[in-house]
Amino acid sequence: MPGIVECVPNVSEGRRADAVDRMAAAIRAVDGVRLLDRTSDTDHNRSVFTFAGPAGAVEAAAHALVGAALREIDLRTHQGEHPRLGAVDVVPFVPLAGATMEECVAIAHRFGRAVAERHDLPVYFYAKAAPRPERVRLPDIRKPQFEGLAEVIGTTHVPDAGPARVHPTAGAMVTGARPPLIAFNIELDTADVKLAKRIAKEIRESSGGLPAVQALGFELTDPPRAQVSMNLLDTSQTSLARVWHEVETRAAAEGVRILRGELIGLMPLDAALQAAASGLRLDGLPRDRIVEAHFIE
């Protein structure tokens, strides 16, 4: 079987279903690619697409998505809870069966340079494709957000490809290569966003918490509640069960219980088996949320 590459772009639109539909259609129109999942969040105003296939087809689908997203999204009017640097905020390439990290790094570099040239867009390379240590972590690149990027794009945020100026409607883009990542949220039975932010700070690696964990606290609406939103960068270092336990323990100390856990996008089979064995209260985990299941007849 030829190598399979996964791509998990995050775009800054999660409220206009018709716009997200058109972006999904651009991905599906590329032969050889399977759109495995699409998840939109109105509070974050963000959508995550997961697609996979042979390397060339995946790269073509990523270009198709960028074109569609830049037609749909204007960051000058965009508002949402989630930090973002661009209309197409981040485009990671992930090696699956038969593919290597080195191949995904090469794809990210080629893709990023092509996007910069085609769309006159500043592009940053992160994770395994980062050109230097300060570009490895996505939050470090995204810190100024769209509104603050112009102030630093000539100093700390000189792009790795493309012009050293912010695109007026699309901002900038980050792309790279990384191992499988699990985007996982835990909702608390409280509207106290300060508690969620405090828990997030205590468990994330950058604050001295759990290895390979990124975390933020958010306020959700309808109904009002607080959420600890996480990226688990490597579940061999920190498992879903460990994250759940740490959040639950800290919330319980304040008299707050966990409402539910929510998987954003897909997860690898090994992580799903781990979660099932731990008895976590996930909001459903059907077969199609497991990456490998889509390539098993």
pLDDT of residue 2: 67
Interacting residues of 133 by C-beta distance below 8 A, sequence separation 6+:
none
pLDDT of residue 268: 75
144 or 234, greater pLDDT: 144
pLDDT of residue 291: 76
Strands 88-95 and 5-7: antiparallel
Q: How many CB atoms lie within 10 A of CB 221?
A: 10
What is the token pair recorded at 119?
A: 């769309």
189: closest CA among 264, 247, 263, 241?
Answer: 247
SS3 95: strand
Set 63, 78, 82, 245: catalytic member: 82
The model's pLDDT over 153-201, given as tens digits with 9 standing for 90+, comes to: 999 999 999 999 999 999 999 999 998 889 899 999 999 999 999 999 9
What's the CATH architecture for 182-295? 2-Layer Sandwich (3.30)
Residue ranges of the chain assigned to CATH 3.30.70.670: 182-295
pLDDT of residue 88: 98
Check pLDDT > 90 for residue 283.
no
Backbone angles phi, psi at 283, to 5 degrees: -85, 65
From 3.20.20.480, 3.40.430.10, 3.30.990.10, 2.30.42.10, which CATH number describes the 5-177 domain? 3.30.990.10
Give, in order, the Cα–Cα distances in Å from 12 to each of 65, 76, 99, 204.
12, 11, 29, 24
Confidence of residue 13 (pLDDT cuts 50, 70, 90): very high
DSSP state of 137: S
Cβ-contact 184, 262 below 8 angstroms: yes
Interacting residues of 156 by C-beta distance below 8 A, sequence separation 6+:
none
Q: What is the pTM of this model?
A: 0.77
Task: Please work out, in degrees rounded to the nearest 5, the angle formed at the alpha carbon of residue 162 by the alpha carbons of 159 and 164.
Answer: 55
DSSP 71-89: HH--GGG---SS--SBSEE
Query: Residue type for 88, please?
Result: V
Cβ-contact 36, 94 below 8 angstroms: no
The model's pLDDT over 81-122, given as tens digits with 9 standing for 90+, comes to: 899 999 999 999 999 878 999 999 999 999 999 999 999 999
Handedness of CA 116, 120, 121, 124 (dihedral sign): positive
User: CA–CA separation, 78 vs 203, rounded Å?
Assistant: 29
pLDDT of residue 278: 67
Confidence of residue 273 (pLDDT cuts 50, 70, 90): confident
Mean pLDDT of 221-249: 92
274 or 32, greater pLDDT: 32
Query: Residue type for 81, please?
Result: E
41: closest CA among 199, 169, 185?
Answer: 185
User: CA–CA separation, 30 vs 55, rounded Å?
Assistant: 12
DSSP state of 292: G
pLDDT of residue 287: 72
Check pLDDT > 70 for residue 123.
yes
Check pLDDT > 60 for residue 22.
yes
User: CA–CA separation, 83 vs 89, rounded Å?
Assistant: 9
pLDDT of residue 258: 95
Residue 167 appears among annotated catalytic residues: no
DSSP state of 97: T
Residue ranges of the chain assigned to CATH 3.30.990.10: 5-177
Percent pLDDT > 90 in the chain is 78
Mean pLDDT of 214-238: 92
- Could you tell me the strand order of the sheet in which 213-220 lies? 213-220, 225-232, 182-188, 258-264
User: CA–CA separation, 164 vs 149, rounded Å?
Assistant: 10
Check pLDDT > 60 for residue 6.
yes
DSSP state of 166: -
Confidence of residue 285 (pLDDT cuts 50, 70, 90): low
178: closest CA among 22, 7, 2, 21?
Answer: 7
Check pLDDT > 80 for residue 277.
no
